[in-house]
Amino acid sequence: MNPKVILITGASAGIGKTTAELLMKKGMKVYSASRRGGIPDKDNNSNGEIIPVIMDVNNVLEIEKVIEKIISENGRLDVLISNAGNGIAGSVEDTSVDETMYQFETNFFGAVKSIQSCIPLFRAQGYGKIITISSVAGVIPIPFQAFYSASKAALLTFMKALYMEVKPFNIDCCTVLPGDTKTDFTAARKYTLQSQSEKSAYYNKMKASVGKMEKDEQNGMSPEVIAQNILQQIERKKMNPVVIPGIQYKFFCWLFNRLPVKISLWVIGLLY
């Protein structure tokens, strides 16, 4: 059988890199997309390989160029994994419109651009799988990371709607919601400009809240757990629309959606 052909964005580090390496070891041909590219790799046991491609998910021309390359070399694309993302921290009041747009540009619109570029191909070939990486924060909002939470919630809702739209064309959709995961995402998190000023009314509370989150992340699950969940969905005949790795995060999301809103927000406020 021909190996599955995969395109994964945000693949230079963290969950994206770990997933690309796992899929390669399973014999898949993985086009590993990032803004800085990478080093080609091949697994001699499975004949799977990683082919780095330079692609900014905010640049439609670059996305289309990569898709053209994949089609010219393989004649098809089986799976898109939209993983590229970033995080900003700061109170809502201390976040400018430009900083808000920065957060949504990659986390939401970058995913939308990647997906929209692949849908015509998937329709033409009569099948395709779309997997996006959202976050438990898309269900359970995090104070002082409101725009990160909102961008992930937007992606989750978008994918649920897309699931219904493309199902008649044999295109399957899945959104993976990781909880705290130990990656370099923590170190890459940016603070909004105004939030860094000690004059901010939120400064001390924000620092404590984000510090708690970062500690949880660095003690969180391994990115290999997320990668395994992604692999399981790729290998399924029909993917689950929403996947939440880790029994504790499944429970947290279930509970959050059943408690009265005032109580659930009070509990989160105590935690962060």
How confident is the model at residue 187, as a pLDDT?
87
Beta strand pairing call for 49-54 and 41-42: antiparallel
Q: What is the pLDDT of residues 243-257, one digit of tens each?
A: 999 999 999 999 999
The rounded Cα 201 to chain-centroid distance in angstroms is 32
Q: Which residues of the chain have pLDDT under 50?
A: none
pTM of structure:
0.95
Q: What is the pLDDT of residues 202-257, one digit of tens each?
A: 999 999 999 999 999 999 999 999 999 999 999 999 999 999 999 999 999 999 99
Contact assessment for residue 60 and residue 111, using Cβ atoms and an 8 Å cutoff? no
How confident is the model at residue 21, as a pLDDT?
98
| Domains within the chain, CATH numbers bracketed | 5-271 (3.40.50.720)
In 3D, which of 247, 189, 233, 260 has the Cα closest to residue 80?
Answer: 233
Beta-bridged to residue 42, according to DSSP, are: 49
User: Looking at the annotation, which residues are catalytic?
Assistant: 12, 134, 148, 152
Contact assessment for residue 129 and residue 239, using Cβ atoms and an 8 Å cutoff? yes
The rounded Cα 68 to chain-centroid distance in angstroms is 23
What's the per-residue H, E or C state across the chain?
Answer: CCCCEEEECCCCCHHHHHHHHHHHHCCCEEEEEECCCCCCEECCCCCCEEEEEECCCCCHHHHHHHHHHHHHHHCCCCEEEECCCCCEECCCCCCCHHHHHHHHHHHHHHHHHHHHHHHHHHHHHCCEEEEEECCHHHCCCCCCCHHHHHHHHHHHHHHHHHHHHHHHHCEEEEEECCCCECCCHHHHCEECCHHHCCCCCCHHHHHHHHHHHHHHHHCCECHHHHHHHHHHHHHCCCCCCEECCCHHHHHHHHHHCCCCHHHHHHHHHHHC
227: which 2 tokens? 């990668």
CA 104/CA 150 separation, integer angstroms: 9
How confident is the model at residue 1, as a pLDDT?
63
Burial tier of 69 (Cβ tally within 10 Å: 0-12, 13-18, 19+):
middle
